[in-house]
Structure 1
Amino acid sequence: MNDEKGIIYLMTTAVEGLIKIGKTMTSQYKNRIRFLEKHGYCNVTGLKIQFAIEVNKYSDKEQLLHSIFQKSQIGNTELFALDINTAMKLLSSFDGKLIFSAYGDKETTFNNATENIASRLIPNGIYYFKKQKKSDNKVVEAKAKIENGIWYILKGSILGETEDKGVSAKAKLMRENMKIGEKGVLLEDIELGECTPSFAGVLIMNSSINGWSDWYDEKGNKLDKYRKESQDD
């Protein structure tokens, strides 16, 4: 039975910073997730699936995860006071069949989790963006504020207007809710929540870019320095 395949999954909850790491038989996966999202778990509601992978020896692997993160475990439950990116980075590196990811394929999920972890090292402050956009024949120029990992794009930023390749569905939806005036001028501050410099850059440019090398601080340092610092740890 220890060799049996099954699914390990990660879920966020209504409580920020509280996640569920669970397991289920492959045949029960859909019903289990549907039940948890509807009824909650251990009096915690708002559960939402973020990642699920089918692996061999799934019970053993779930036990391994619980052991690794035991200091963050809430009692004897499957709830953990843990940044989901930390758990997702580890779980997405397992050999197995991807069942669900809110972030793309396994490699994309791993890279996204890695970037999100690095993004948390960016200090509070004001950051700047300035880049030529050929399809609009203009310079896109923006100013952002970061407070405790939360990004805000500030009023008066000049955004890209033409949608080029590489704009995610999440960025498209967020842009639809932004108040943008003539010539792409942002008419009010917009909160992005926790995100990476690349996501913030895509939102500004309306095209795919590497935001780590395009955003810079008041001293002119590129944000990539913080990602490098996280890789050196």
Structure 2
Amino acid sequence: MRTFVVGDIHGGLKALIQLLNTMEITEEDQLIFLGDYVDGWSESAQVIQFLMELENKFSCIFIKGNHDIWCENWLEDGTVNPSWYIHGGKATMESYADFSKEAKHEHLKFFKTMKSYYLDADNRLFIHAGFTSMHGVEKEVNTGTFFYDRTLWEMALALDENIKKDNPNYPNRLKHYNEIYIGHTPTIRYDSEMPMQAATIWNMDTGAAFTGRLSAMNIDTKAVYQSDPLPRLYPKEKGRN
């Protein structure tokens, strides 16, 4: 069985389909999605519908992102977070125009089944953004950091590349897990359209919401698969630019 981790999709259904075709997934494979399925391109509702159907055929784990929380709240009681509206929420709301009340309810139930994080049998952590507790995710007090934290990634980037885990100055946050896979912070901010590694952390958000690509990685071989840049797939749209 191969295990793939998939970065932030942000309403780019065309990119997701292209990526999965490139990966040539089989029913023996496992797919771990890092969240932010909505907000950006015009097919957010369609992405959710596709993922729900994908789960019926393949082994899938869905991590929840901050954009997914905003969409979930809107589906549940009509709440429109102002930040959500200007950061892709408007396009997501419009993508639901042709969905029935019953279909929206099924999507809401799907959002509620998403995980805050996932820890596999090889002690690899999958989380949307990060965490702040030096004792690991299980001891996190403010679980909202799972969806919004950037300090974990910033800390990893600031580390000396040669520092080892047995060094007394090695950050305690990074000692708990063999590897950590995150999204949330686009690598294109660092002039990279590829997944980035810092210490034991892999950042899989390669800017699909903006000018970048949707990416996946085989977590055992570290082989990377990518879609075309999203603006090329949606030439009449602006995404979240």
Q: TM-score, normalised by structure 1?
A: 0.23
More strand by share: 1
Q: Which has the higher contact order (CA 8 A, sep 6+)?
A: 2
